[in-house]
Amino acid sequence: MLGKFQKSELRIEVKVEETVFRDCLLDISKLKQWFFPLKFKKNSINKLSEGDTFSFYLGLIEIKNKVDFIDNNCIRLILSGGIDGYQEWCWGDGWIQSRLEGISLLPLNLGQTVNLLRLKSFASNLKVKN
């Protein structure tokens, strides 16, 4: 893989319950609404589980994701293609954290920041509607 090793960890406070974050990250229909345009298999299930795969594109660059681990407050994705590494999302009442490590030519910190802000906005809007 060409690129350089990059590492970023961001944590923000958001006044939503941890169940909202869990739904935003594990429910495929919600995930598709706030994350980059995702590509799932046609017969994909409604919720992510360990071993599931999906991908998204940044221009012509495909980034493949494989769910490595899920528990009540954390999900870890193994990344390949445009990024070789992993991303981990952890959450609780009032906060969400993302850790991203990998080798890539892409500016990972910028992409991670944008995704975290999109998730914050989406989760906050869900809370308001409920």
The rounded distance, in Å, linking the Cα atoms of 46 and 57 is 21
Label residue 107 left, alpha or beta by phi (over 0 means left) and psi (-120 to 50 means alpha): beta
Name the CATH topology of 4-129. Answer: Alpha-D-Glucose-1,6-Bisphosphate; Chain A, domain 4 (3.30.530)
Share of the chain above pLDDT 90, in %: 70
Kindly report the average pLDDT of the chain as a whole number: 90
Model pLDDT, residue 99 = 97
Model pLDDT, residue 35 = 86
Angle, CA 92 vertex, CA 48 and CA 38 arms, to 5°: 30
Model pLDDT, residue 49 = 93
Model pLDDT, residue 41 = 62
pTM of the model: 0.89
Indicate whether 128 pLDDT > 70.
no
Task: Please state the domain extents for the chain.
Answer: 4-129
Model pLDDT, residue 16 = 93
More confident residue, 128 or 81: 81
